[in-house]
Every structure is written in structure tokens, then in C-alpha cells.
């Protein structure tokens, strides 16, 4: 069962990586759609138990959102909330 779930995660990550490359080529690194894909990738990493990698990805998402949407945007606030939860779960608070 665990291996089956891992296979699903691996396939999901492959698709997200493919989408990430395409969207980056279309829009560049600093675009809201790039942040969306990276956020989805972070969720897969978290589900795989790769908390440190997920955390690094969430930090990247936050940076993109701050640059593209501005520091006071509601999506930036949601990213901060998600990041705080990740730090908390990893015992980093």
C-alpha cells in the first residue's frame, strides 16, 4: 500500500515538474502560475515525508508571491500561514 501511494506521488511530481518547466518558459520564474505549481509540488513532498524539501519549496513560493503580488496580498498571507504550519510541524518554532 505504501509503495502504491509512493508511485502515485512520483507520477504526480513528474507531471508537476513538467508543468513547472513549461510555465517557466512561458512566463519566467516570477509568475503566479509558477508559484501555484511549486506549491502543489510542496504538498506532494510533504505527503512523501520530505518536510525539509517541502519547506524550502514553500519559502520559494512565498518569495515569488511577495514579488509578484506585493507583500500585503491575501495570497501572501496564506503562504505565510502555510509556512508557519510547516515550521510548527517540523518543530522549528
How far apart are alpha carbons 44 and 47 in whole angstroms? 5
Instruction: Please give the average per-residue pLDDT across 64-71, as a whole number.
Output: 95
The cell for 44 is: 506532494
The confidence score (pLDDT) of residue 42 equals 95
pLDDT in tens, 17-59: 999 999 999 999 999 999 999 999 999 999 999 999 999 999 9
Are 68 and 60 within 8 A, CB to CB?
no
pTM: 0.87
Amino acid at each position: 500500500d505504501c509503495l502504491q501511494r509512493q508511485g502515485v506521488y512520483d507520477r504526480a511530481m513528474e507531471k508537476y515538474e513538467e508543468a513547472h518547466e513549461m510555465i517557466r518558459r512561458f512566463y519566467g520564474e516570477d509568475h503566479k502560475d509558477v508559484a501555484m505549481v511549486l506549491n502543489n509540488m510542496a504538498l506532494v513532498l510533504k505527503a512523501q515525508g520530505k518536510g525539509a524539501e517541502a519547506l524550502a519549496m514553500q519559502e520559494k513560493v512565498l518569495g515569488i508571491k511577495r514579488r509578484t503580488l506585493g507583500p500585503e496580498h491575501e495570497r501572501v498571507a496564506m503562504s505565510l500561514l502555510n509556512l508557519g504550519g510547516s515550521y510548527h510541524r517540523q518543530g522549528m518554532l
